[in-house]
Amino acid sequence: MRVYIVGSLNMDLVIRVQRIPEAGETLTGEGFMTNPGGKGANQAVAAAKLGAEAYMVGCVGREFGDELLASLTKYGVRTQYVRRAEEVSSGIAVIVVAGGDNRIMLDAGANKLPDRALIDGALQGASAGDYLLLQLEIPMPAIEYALKCAREKGMITVLNPAPAASLSKEVLSLCDWFTPNQTEAQFYTGIYPKDEESIRACAAKLGELGVKNVLITLGTDGSACVSGGKFYRTAAVPAKAVDTTAAGDTYVGAFVTRLSEGADIERAMRFASTASSVTVTRRGAQQSIPTREEAEACAAQKGIEI
């Protein structure tokens, strides 16, 4: 099955510091780097590097457009549905990394431009059973329209609600999978998921809004899923984190990849946790995401069945 990723493409501008500066404070950093990112593009790269037939759907702009497209192509993502817009810059993310954690500031740029025509052109060849993966770094009308088109085609829809933003009941009802982290889950439900009881409560509240399956990433506590009334829990794979920038995107891309291959939920979760554990040991976004071979080697070393 194919995976269509409708979402953002950003150029990340990254600098490392000893700690996050206070208001009005200037700190000296080091290791400045630029690297292609954006939640949509990161998840597309994760899917492609980990084995999926991945199609990116989005827009790039005047600055950094060539670099963003070249990176996607390098990692095996199909880019025929990425539109060029010369009147604006590509999306920009300024990332400050301190102690293995990060703070991110965004300028949407060309990510404001995905529209119905772009989505129609991209999904015209999609089939029932293909996957549609979205995030919240492009305009809400485009997200809602893509979900509606996918539902009409019988595609399986996955919404990664990052960064968290208000969603209508109609949008939520179009989601086969909803994949927040803990903070995002709390944003939508008012419940902070930390154990089976609270995770089930989150899933129940989202289910009332029409979401069919809920997968919550729990950071160093792994991930949990409620699907068909069943509860699934997977531990995080131990790793020494140096940069968590693309960890969540790797997880989502990996999870959807294994589902698209017909894997069951538990295997897909273990695969996603394994891939993410490799990502956090490397600096950067797309270049930090492991290949399928690297993820499988990590799983074999740690005795994880994926």
Nearest partner of 173 among 153, 200, 150, judged by Cα = 150
Closest by CA to 12, choosing from 62, 85, 68, 55, is 68
The residue behind tokens 């200037």 is 26
Closest CA to 175 of 132, 218, 142, 140: 132
Catalytic residue among 12, 130, 176, 249: 249
Give which of 213, 148, 142, 209 is closest to 177, Cα–Cα: 213
| Inter-residue contact 175 to 210 (CB < 8 Å) | yes
Among 142, 83, 106, 101, which residue's Cα sits nearest to residue 10? 106
Angle, nearest 10°, between helix axes 39-49 and 65-74? 20
At residue 251, the 3 state secondary structure works out as helix
H-assigned helices in the chain? 39-49, 65-74, 116-123, 140-153, 169-173, 182-189, 196-208, 247-260, 265-279, 292-302
DSSP 68: H
> Tokens for 236?
């995080």
Q: Position of tokens 């920038």?
A: 245
Is 12 a known active-site residue? no
The vertex-188 CA angle with 213 and 192, nearest 5°, equals 90
Letter for the amino acid at 110? A
- Give the span between the Cα atoms of 248 and 160, in whole angstroms: 9
Positions marked active-site: 249
